[in-house]
């Protein structure tokens, strides 16, 4: 599902499951983590650009494989693969840029927001789908509110509505809105601007930014408590309905 290629110091990490709008399976997330680890160790790569093949960045977690396994088989959600540690606890702190188009929803919204910079096409649509499925959203709220303030976070997290690239930009959640069809090209241009500067100091800034984010997300998880959302009828019913079961 994940392509990795380096050119002129930029690692291009592409989500490549276009027939499923690049929805993350467990295997796909494991591949993505491996790509992030490869970037961290790769001396030829100084910065990463994450994008999606086909019509979207990503539609988030694969309903059939990841979420139905929790609802029907009692799989512990904490055991599922995630890229958080590969980004927040890496060794070399190379910046990441997300180039987003189409959809970046659910898990994929988190994937984009973990990057230092987010360039979105005008057609990009974002959504905290966890709200619709009965999954607690404390971490999303903390992440979004940390960038935009509470009002915008309250709006998009509690309603679970789609919001546009322009809304996200005006709220301070993403870096810029590209010209139509130019999200990847503008992300690469931004990467080259970052690469034009001495990298050691920039990486220290990335390390600090991720340490602050990790602390914020950890605090959200602690305060949210031990609510067993994966055992609730609301979650199970929502996931089965979404999967047509």
Integer Cα distance of 96 and 90 in angstroms: 12
Residue 96 forms beta bridges with which residues?
A: 48
Question: Which residue out of 83, 116, 130, 167 is catalytically annotated?
Answer: 130
Q: Pull the structure tokens for residue 58.
A: 């990503």
Q: Pull the structure tokens for residue 30.
A: 């494991």
Integer Cα distance of 56 and 125 in angstroms: 9
3-class DSSP assignment, residue 148: helix
Annotation marks residue 19 as catalytic: no
Long-range Cβ contacts of 193-198 (<8 Å, 24+ apart): 194/47, 194/95, 194/97, 194/117, 195/9, 195/10, 195/46, 195/47
- Residue numbers annotated as active site: 130
């Amino acid at each position: 599902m994940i392509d990795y290629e380096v050119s002129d110091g930029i690692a291009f990490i592409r989500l490549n499951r276009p027939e499923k709008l690049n929805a993350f399976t467990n295997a796909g997330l494991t591949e993505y983590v491996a790509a992030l680890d490869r970037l961290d160790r790769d001396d030829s790569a100084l910065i990463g650009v994450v994008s999606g093949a086909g019509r979207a960045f990503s539609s988030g977690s694969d309903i059939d494989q990841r979420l139905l396994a929790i609802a029907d088989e009692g799989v512990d959600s904490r055991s599922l693969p995630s890229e958080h540690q590969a980004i927040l606890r890496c060794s070399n702190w190379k910046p990441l840029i997300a180039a987003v188009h189409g959809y970046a929803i659910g898990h994929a919204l988190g994937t984009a927001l973990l990057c230092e910079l987010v360039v979105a096409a005008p057609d990009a649509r974002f959504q905290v789908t966890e709200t619709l499925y009965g999954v607690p959203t404390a971490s999303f709220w903390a992440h979004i509110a940390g960038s935009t303030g509470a009002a915008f976070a309250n709006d998009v997290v509690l309603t679970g509505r789609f919001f546009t690239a322009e809304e996200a930009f005006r709220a301070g959640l993403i870096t810029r809105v590209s010209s139509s069809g130019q999200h990847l090209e503008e992300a690469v241009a931004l990467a080259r601007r970052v690469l034009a500067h001495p990298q050691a100091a920039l990486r220290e800034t990335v390390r600090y930014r991720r340490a602050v984010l990790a602390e914020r997300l950890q605090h959200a998880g602690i305060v949210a408590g031990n609510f067993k959302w994966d055992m609730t009828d609301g979650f199970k019913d929502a996931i089965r309905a979404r999967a047509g079961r």
